[in-house]
Amino acid sequence: MERIEQNEQWKLQGDCTKCRRNNYCSKPCTRCNRAARARLNRLVATTMDRMTGGAMTDIIEKSVYGIYGGK
């Protein structure tokens, strides 16, 4: 497996602190935006799941993934 250089590791997780352009970058890149959106989505889903006692996960699985428990 190929080793990724330290200054290119931002591509893995969208971490701008590891980016080679960090010193002169003016806005978050697409990878950073996607990573932030994914973290927010996970946080909302986890919170809603706690509030509904796990029902939110069931609803999401049934509507998004087409997983049905019945006939």
Residue reference for tokens 């003016």:
26
Nearest to residue 45, comparing CAs of 32, 64, 69? 64
The per-residue pLDDT string of the chain (71 residues; one tens digit each, 9 = 90 and over) reads 677 676 666 666 777 777 777 788 888 888 888 888 999 988 988 898 899 888 888 887 788 766 665 54
Query: Cα separations (Å) of 64 from 3, 14, 61, 70?
Result: 36, 26, 5, 16
**13-41 burial by CB neighbour count: b if 16+ within 10 A, else e?**
ebebebbeeeeeeeeeeebbeebeeeeee
DSSP secondary structure code for residue 20 in this structure: T
pTM over the 0.85 mark: no
The ranges assigned to domains in the chain are 6-64
